[in-house]
Amino acid sequence: MKQPKAQQRFTLWGSKEYTIFFLIFFIVCTAMILIGAFGPHVYTDKYKTFKGDLNEELQMDLIEMSRLNRYLLISAQVNNNMTVGIITTLQFTIKFYGTNYLYNQDPWVKLYESKHRRNITCKVNENCTIHSIVNRPFVHYKNYRTLLTIENESEHNFYDTVYLKATYINKNLTLFELALRYIYVMCVIIWLTYLTYSTKGFSFRTFIYEQKLTAFILILLLCFNNPLNPLLILSDSLFLRVLDTFFASLFFISIWCYWLCILDNFRTNKRSFRSFYLPKLSLLLIMFGFFFGTYLFVRYHQLDDPQYEASNDTPGFRIIIYIMIVCFLYYLMWLFFSGVRGNSESKKSLDPTMVKRFRFFFWFSFIVAIFSIVVLIGSYFQKIKNSAAEFMAIFTIYNVYLIMYSYASLPVKDNSSTKIVEKHDHTLHGKELLKDSSSDINEDIELGVNENNQIEIEENSNHGSNNSKKYEKSEKSEKSEKSEKLDKSDN
């Protein structure tokens, strides 16, 4: 007999268990987002304003920096004191130095010196377009010095103020992120160990499709939390930063594929690679290639030119962004279509748990997807982007979502199916006993018949032998009588 599939835990739940489950999810996510919102700031900003004689080098020093700052961005901006808006071009000369000694002592190490032209747009009585002049992917020195010179400054009479702004990661935020990542990494490792122990009584072949994919995506969740993250701070290796982005990109593409495959599985049980997996992988790999390739392209140019800005320095860069948006919208339409078809097909299924499985997975994943989109859109439009709430929301939502869904999907023995199997086994066993007993009875009957036949044969044979003896005796008596008669006649 075919072994029954392992049922999911939530298929045996009632309304009380569902309410507690979703209540725990919302409480944990809300609490972690609030901790991020009231926690340390993401960025530390330092400003310096220059007025008067702007022909000289404009100097800005940053002191007491450390590897915990992780990232350094310096930008420049001028104001517009005219009554009309203008579009013009400014040429900058930038010298950038670093040292591990006191900032007012030599030696200073020249990191680079370059000239760059920037197209700026200035509205009436407002500051002009801000542009980055220094972009360091990691902080190596304790102190930095930036010298900025605006070429042909006397030819420009539309501004009288220059602003320099330095932005770097807050040290407390770095420590906060390290602690959070460590907690999530340990939680995932402990949870994977528990799942391995609790499912050792089940064969992997008995797992249903959702359980198999969930086990795979949990391993990728460990990559998303990135246990190698502390090495990003301890080293200046660009490879580790690229690897961190690769892990994050791989996780998001994988969980999008995870949602699409499971919803489409409710629509059809035919999962051939060519018709089921290949179209999904093709779309998602295109999205992954565009996203990760764009990141590598921008990061490479920033190393070569710290003033590089993709939107201004690379023609056609916006076209790539538009292609990525179109691919994502197509994915959302596909996901919606799979959900509608999966809902209708699950209602037609003979499996009574199919509707529960679809509704639980669809609504839980839908809540997570909407939550993520709201966080991303909100972080894009918020005026003050200096809160760890976005970071806390993204990491918390996906970690809690996958851990709780894997808990709800733990395989359990279905009592109804077990009873059916046992009843079937008892029936088969009873039939076998009946067959054995009937065969034994038949054998006994056959043995009895054979014995009776043998007895009858023996009796017949004995009866025959007695008859033959009687016949012999009668013949002898007849002969003796004849002989006696002959003797009398002779006499």
What's the token pair of residue 258?
């995870």
- CA 4 to chain CA centroid, nearest Å: 27
Residue 484 in any domain: the answer is no
Higher-scoring residue by pLDDT: 477, 123: 123
295 and 305 housed in the same domain = yes
Same domain? For 68 and 209 the reply is: no
**Is residue 490 assigned to a domain?**
no
- What distance in Å separates the CA atoms of residue 288 and residue 283, rounded to the nearest whole number? 9
Residue 144 pLDDT > 90:
yes
Q: Is the pLDDT of residue 282 over 90?
A: yes
User: Do residues 58 and 164 make contact, with C-beta atoms less than 8 angstroms apart?
Assistant: yes
pLDDT at residue number 405: 96
Task: Evaluate whether 98 touches 141 at the Cβ level (below 8 Å).
Answer: yes
Q: Which of 206-210, 389-393, 469-473 has the highest mean pLDDT?
A: 206-210
b/e string for 179-210 if b means 16 or more Cβ within 10 A?
Answer: ebbeebbeebeebbeebeeebeeeeeeebbeb
Does residue 190 sit in the same domain as residue 87? Answer: no
Q: Domain boundary residue among 396, 413, 430?
A: 413
CA gap 212, 480 in Å, rounded: 107
CA neighbor of 117 nearest in space, from 145, 89, 86, 156: 89
Q: What pLDDT is stored for residue 38 in this prediction?
A: 86
Same domain flag for 75 and 187: no
For residue 200, how far is the Cα from the chain centroid?
A: 22
Write down the pLDDT at residue 256. Answer: 93
d(C-alpha 332, C-alpha 282), whole Å: 15
Asked if residue 288 and residue 244 are part of one domain, the reply reads yes
**H/E segment holding residue 337:** helix 317-348
| pLDDT number for residue 380 | 59
Given this model, what pLDDT does residue 419 score? 43
Q: What does the radius of gyration of the chain's CA atoms come to, in whole angstroms? A: 44
Return d(Cα 489, Cα 295) in angstroms, integer: 150
The per-residue pLDDT for 428 is 39
Grade residue 154 by pLDDT with cuts at 50, 70 and 90: low
**Nearest CA to 68 among 185, 201, 169, 189?**
169
Q: What is the mean pLDDT of residues 321-328?
A: 89
* 303-322 average pLDDT score: 76
Stretch (H or E) spanning 115: strand 109-122
Q: Is residue 431 part of a domain?
A: no
Q: Is 486 left (phi over 0), alpha (psi -120 to 50) or beta?
A: alpha
Same structural domain for residues 268 and 164? no
What three-state secondary structure class fits 325? helix
Quote the pLDDT of residue 307: 66
| Contact criterion met (CB below 8 Å) for 147 and 59 | yes
Same domain, 28 and 64: no
Judgement on whether residues 101 and 210 belong to the same structural domain of the protein: no
Number of domains comprising the chain:
2
Question: Is residue 215 domain-shared with residue 353, that is, in the same domain?
Answer: yes
Tokens representing residue 467 in the block: 């008859």
**Phi and psi, residue 145, nearest 5°:** -135, 130
Read off the pLDDT of residues 338-353 as tens digits, 9 standing for 90 and up: 999 999 998 888 788 8
Confidence of residue 189 (pLDDT cuts 50, 70, 90): very high
Per the CB < 8 A criterion, the answer to whether 146 and 94 are in contact is: yes
* Rounded (to 5) percent helix, strand, coil in the chain: 65, 15, 20
**What is the extent of the structural domain holding 289?**
7-40+171-413
Instruction: Please name the helix (run of DSSP H) or strand (run of DSSP E) that holds residue 205, with its range, or none.
Output: none
Last residue of a domain, one of 169, 204, 232: 169
| Residue appearing with tokens 């030119």 | 305
Instruction: Please give the share of the chain, as a percent, with pLDDT higher than 90.
Output: 39
Does 423 map to a domain? no
For residue 120, is it within any domain?
A: yes
Residue 95 tokens read as 């010298």
Q: Tens of pLDDT along 212-234? A: 999 999 999 999 999 998 888 88
With residue 300 as reference, give the H or E element that holds it.
Answer: helix 278-304
Indicate whether 193 pLDDT > 90. Answer: yes
In this prediction, residue 24 carries a pLDDT of 96
Asked if residue 214 is part of any domain, the answer here is: yes
What pLDDT does 3 receive?
61
Q: In the predicted model, what is the mean pLDDT of residues 36-57?
A: 86
**DSSP string computed for 212-244:** HHHHHHHHHHHHHH-TTHHHHHH---HHHHHHH
What CATH number should be reported for the domain holding residue 228?
1.20.1070
Pairing of strands 86-99, 43-51: unpaired
Asked if the model's pLDDT at residue 388 lies above 60, the reply is yes
Q: Give CA–CA dist 437/433, Å, rounded.
A: 6
Q: Tell me, yes or no, whether 261 and 342 share the same domain.
A: yes
427 occurs within a structural domain? no
346-360, 367-381, 453-467: the lowest-pLDDT one: 453-467
Q: Residue 71 — φ and ψ, nearest 5°?
A: -155, 140
Tally Cβ neighbours within 10 Å of residue 281: 15
pTM given for the model: 0.77
The encoded tokens of residue 1 equal: 């007999």
Answer whether residue 471 is part of any domain.
Answer: no
Domain end, chosen from 413, 431, 464, is at 413
Mean pLDDT over all residues of the chain? 80
Same-domain status, 164 and 175:
no
pLDDT digits (tens, 9 = 90+) for 171-184: 999 999 999 999 99
Residue 447 scores a pLDDT above 50:
no
Domain CATH for 98? 2.60.120
Dihedral sign of CA atoms 37, 40, 44, 45 in order: positive
Q: What are phi and psi of 343, to 5 degrees?
A: -65, -45
- Judge whether residue 1 has pLDDT over 60: no
Q: What average pLDDT does range 96-101 have in this prediction? A: 88
Q: Are residues 253 and 321 in the same domain?
A: yes
